[in-house]
Amino acid sequence: MSALLDSLAADFQGDASQRVALDALLHDGLPQRAESWKYTSLRQLERRSFVPAQHVAVEAMQLAAIPEPRIVFVNGQLDATLSNLSGLIGGIEVQALSQQPDSGNVMPLSARSDEPFARLNATLAREGVSIHVDADAHMDTPLHLVHVGSAQSNGDAAWHLRHRITLGEGASLSLVEHELAVSEHAHLGNVVIQVQLAERAQLGHVRLQDAPARASVFARTDATLAQDAGYQRIDLELGAGLSRHELNVQLQGDRAALNANGVLLADGRRHVDTRLGIDHIARDTRCNLTWRGLAGQRGKAVFHGGITIHAGADGSEAALANKNLLLSADAEIDTQPVLVIHADEVKAAHGATVGQLDATALFYLRSRGLPEAQARALLTGAFCHEVVNGIADSSTHAACAAALERALVRVGA
């Protein structure tokens, strides 16, 4: 048994069914040869131990850049003093998961051996938030969901959070998710979000992951979309020493649509992993996926884009484009675009590229008098900012653009 699983299991406080599920996970251990973990090794993490997260005081001024309304978790614990929901409109209910009578059954108990962190979350998570938007309720001001990490005196901590977001028929919501730190730490955060969109519901979701270089971040989003529902999502994976995000979306209703774009940035010795699993189940569904990867120094970026068009999903349209830039001979990028089609009369395309900056474009900028470093920075910034420019809210766009610029400087772009 690994030191990691031993230390995490020591904090178990669940019911009998969760105990059985946890024991099964402890028996299986972490995946070693699973195809879904082929490019992401857990051997170093497996040898680490973590203590339960403690309450850590964070000054409000340290989060002054994040506007309200906001929900703040510090080291996995809901912080009521930093949270402020006064700006919410009627028809939106926000409730701590621990206050809901069915909180223990929010996430199904997975038995898949290649989903260890989802299994850990289902058995160990005791807190999170439920966001419910009534039918036809609309809120233009973004709601911020903030995960803050801060050093604690008794060592490296681990926490498990699960959130539930439910939108009623015709409802709309803009959500901005932050993963950040107010001090350097080497904690492990394990967050699962379940999204359920009813007919004609629209969710805009921006996720900014900017954890410190020694942190480990595991995130998973499971979304189901009903008829005519829309999910617009942008992910910026800029931080953490080891991070993995799994985005699973089921287009269950006719004409449901997903537009999901992202940036993976790996510098230093960072390992950044994103795995998409998109299922077209109903007719005339659409997904448009654009991902950019950037790796410098000894960083490693991993991307898996999986799209399945099931039998009966005729009229579906699917497009996946994953473009990547290597900025160093020691960096690594692994990309796997996968397209499986079981239906007729569909439009589908996928592709991936890994290369260096365009020599012609670089020469053109140099010939106009730009120094080489500035020319490289200009081309690399344009490559990544294409994704950020899709953020509609001006304040969110500015915050994400600034974080991306800081990360680009760090990677030497």
How would you write the pLDDT of the chain (413 residues) with one tens digit per residue? 589 999 999 989 888 988 999 999 999 999 988 999 999 999 999 999 999 998 899 999 999 999 999 999 999 999 999 999 988 988 999 999 888 766 544 555 566 889 999 999 999 999 999 999 999 999 989 999 999 999 998 999 999 999 999 999 999 999 999 999 999 999 999 999 999 999 999 999 999 999 999 999 999 999 999 999 999 999 999 999 999 999 999 999 999 999 999 999 999 999 999 999 999 999 999 999 999 999 999 999 999 999 999 999 999 999 999 999 988 899 999 999 999 999 989 999 998 888 776 666 666 566 776 666 666 666 677 788 889 999 999 999 999 999 999 998 887 66
pLDDT for the residue numbered 372: 64
DSSP for residue 30: S
pLDDT for 309 equals 98
DSSP string covering 179-221: EEESS----EEEEEEEEEE-TT-EEEEEEEE---TT-EEEEEE
The pLDDT, as a whole number, for residue 363 is: 60
Q: How far apart are CA 226 and CA 235, in angstroms?
A: 22
- Strands of 214-299, DSSP E: 216-225, 230-237, 242-251, 257-266, 271-280, 286-295
Angle in degrees, 0-180, between the axes of helices 116-124 and 16-28, rounded to the nearest 10: 150
Distance of CA 23 to the CA centre of its chain: 27
> Helix or strand or coil: residue 298?
coil
What was the pLDDT predicted at 386? 87
What is the pLDDT, as a whole number, of residue 105? 47
State how far Cα 69 lies from the chain centre. 21
Coil vs helix vs strand at 376 = helix
Alpha carbons 46 and 280: distance in angstroms, whole number? 35
pLDDT at 110: 62
List, as one string, the DSSP characters of 40-89.
---HHHHT---EEP------GGGGTTSPSSEEEEETTEE-TTT-B-TTPP
The alpha carbon of 87 is separated from its chain's Cα centroid by a whole number of angstroms, namely: 25
Q: What is the pTM of this model?
A: 0.93
Q: Is the four-CA dihedral 109, 114, 118, 120 of positive or negative sign?
A: positive
Q: Which residues, in sequence order, are CB contacts of 223 under 8 Å at separation 6+?
A: 194, 195, 196, 197, 231, 247, 248, 249, 250, 258
CA 57 to chain centre: 26
Give the per-residue pLDDT at 366.
64
